[in-house]
Amino acid sequence: MEMIKFHEMIEGASKIALASHLNPDGDNLGSLSALSKYLKKLDKDVYTIFDDVMIDDFRFLFKGIKTVKSSEIEDIDLFITLDSADLDRIGKDAVELYRKSKKTICIDHHHTNDGYADFNVVEKNSSSTCEVLFKLLKRDLIDEEIATSILTGISTDTGSFKYENTSSDTHRIAAELLNFGAKNLDITVNVYQSNPKSKIMLLNEALNRLEFYLEGKIAMIALPKEISLSPNYKKSDSEGIVEYIRDIEGVEIAIFLKEKENEIRVSFRAKSYADVSKIASKFNGGGHIMAAGATYYGSLEKAKDEILQEAIKEIKCKES
């Protein structure tokens, strides 16, 4: 039924806008590029919105796709959000366009999604938005480029199929995507084996600020803005640092704080039993049990202290 409703809404629209959340990752970029290419096959007038900075690792997914800023378009028949549990995460300009659109669809997998669109396809037990999207697409229109985009999102959101959100369905879908011609080597080289030197240098800076708490069960790195905003580093260079922290022996909760001009971006990861989405929710954030994010307004030292206290509470609650 969801697939039928999805295609009915697409068939009734001429101008379609697609948007995913700011601070993009592989899942929302994979789903954004896959759906953009799919809708072009249906001869739709597609506007692929990108109001953020493209991460170099994922540029290969957008060959042939022209991205636009939300402020550059108007009069949209159908607005589709991808991988955004909270409407505000798509950005202020995109929200304004969304509210003016005739119809809206949300495709997502976050358990904090409250169903804000006219039509919501939210599968909270799916590994990724790309997995949800795959189930909505007509198989005869999936080619190797679309399959590669979807497999990229599944691979990145499952930690290369290591995380607990990886199900037997996830593996079956991945196998189908390979049968459609998904280029696994392209994903591996671009996403996992092309780290720029600046990224490694930033990782070195970050590790020099690594701190452990609660007998090593909590690990935190806080990057001050003189480092995070340095012209020596690109915005995407900090991607993966929080996972690096989580992978340390004995660490259950990993926390990465990145100070910007007027805010602090916070990333959380859990290893086995903590629910970091609960911590993120205390700071106007959200996400998954094992991976979440938030934005903090205030000083870096105050952010470290308040977030650490919530992380300690979460560990002690789960261990009591």
Q: Which is more confident, 111 or 166?
A: 166
Residue 163 has a pLDDT of 85
pLDDT, averaged across the chain: 95
Would you say 37 and 149 are in contact if contact means Cβ atoms under 8 Å apart? yes
CA pair distance 129, 181, nearest whole angstrom: 20
Residue type, 181: G
Which superfamily is assigned to 1-193 in CATH? inorganic pyrophosphatase (n-terminal core) (3.90.1640.10)
Q: Which of 312, 4, 233, 305 is nearest to 138 (CA)?
A: 4
Contacts of 310 (CB under 8 A, 6+ apart): 279, 282, 283
What residue segments make up the domains of the chain, in order of their start?
1-193, 197-319
For the chain, what is the largest distance between any 2 Cα atoms, rounded to a whole number of angstroms?
58
**Is residue 287 scored above 90 in pLDDT?**
no
Question: 117 by DSSP, 3-state: which?
Answer: coil
Whether the per-residue pLDDT at 284 is higher than 90: the answer is no
> What average pLDDT does this structure show over 144-165?
95
Prediction pTM value: 0.85
CATH of 197-319, one of 3.40.50.720, 3.10.310.30, 3.40.630.30, 3.30.565.10: 3.10.310.30
Same fold, 1-193 and 197-319: no
For residue 49, give the nearest of 66, 30, 35, 34 by alpha carbon: 66
What does the pLDDT read at residue 294? 93
What are 135-148's pLDDT values in tens digits?
999 999 999 999 99
Task: Give me Rg for the CA atoms of the chain.
Answer: 19
Render pLDDT for 247-280 as a digit per residue (tens, 0 to 9).
999 999 999 999 999 999 999 999 999 999 999 9
Instruction: Please name every residue paired with 104 in a beta bridge, in sequence order, or none if there are none.
Output: 79
Give the least confident one: 6-10, 80-84, 121-125, 282-286. Answer: 282-286
Q: What is the mean pLDDT of residues 204-233?
A: 97
Quote the tokens at residue 119: 């039509």
Average pLDDT of span 116-132: 97
Detail the DSSP E strand segments found in the chain.
15-20, 45-49, 67-68, 78-82, 103-108, 119-122, 211-213, 218-223, 253-259, 264-270, 286-287, 291-296
For 13, other C-beta atoms within 10 Å of its C-beta total 21
